[in-house]
Structure 1
Amino acid sequence: MRARTNEIIISDLLVGCFECCIKCLGGIPYASLIATILLYAGVALFCGCGHEALSGTVNILQTYFDMARAAGDTIDVFTM
């Protein structure tokens, strides 16, 4: 009889835990969570596209514009 009592107590605890989890999940602001994820995805996309655009610009400048350099000059691509 005692084992049956333990089973009932354990099942009551599981139901109580489930109800507690449902209450906590119900309090999450899903709209804000989705907006935050979209914000980070947008920032990552913006940074990636900006990096690709700047790399392409540097390649175009190096390909189509020639600079006369003196011996021993070191010049950075971004100071053209």
Structure 2
Amino acid sequence: MDYTSIQILPDTRMRLASLKSSERETYDQILNKLLQLVPDGDEEGKYTEDFRIGLLNAKLDLKHGRVISHEDLKRKLGLK
């Protein structure tokens, strides 16, 4: 099996290490677990990579409070 290296900040490495379920778990295994959190598709079919990236970014926006309410959106669009 071929391996490659990636550049991450020390803080990121520490955060990844905190997700280890055992000392023997590799960073590759942790990263693959995290990647599984972004679904491949649903009952209607497989998602495109662009959609999966958009879904991940939308989840991050929610987590960081970068959202507006439905009422604010309607007001902004002049629908109310």
If the length of structure 1 is used for normalisation, what is the TM-score? 0.23
- Bigger fraction of residues in strand: 2
TM-score by length of 2: 0.23
Question: Which is higher, the Rg of structure 1 or of structure 2?
Answer: 1
Structure with more relative contact order (C-alpha pairs < 8 Å, separation 6 or more): 1
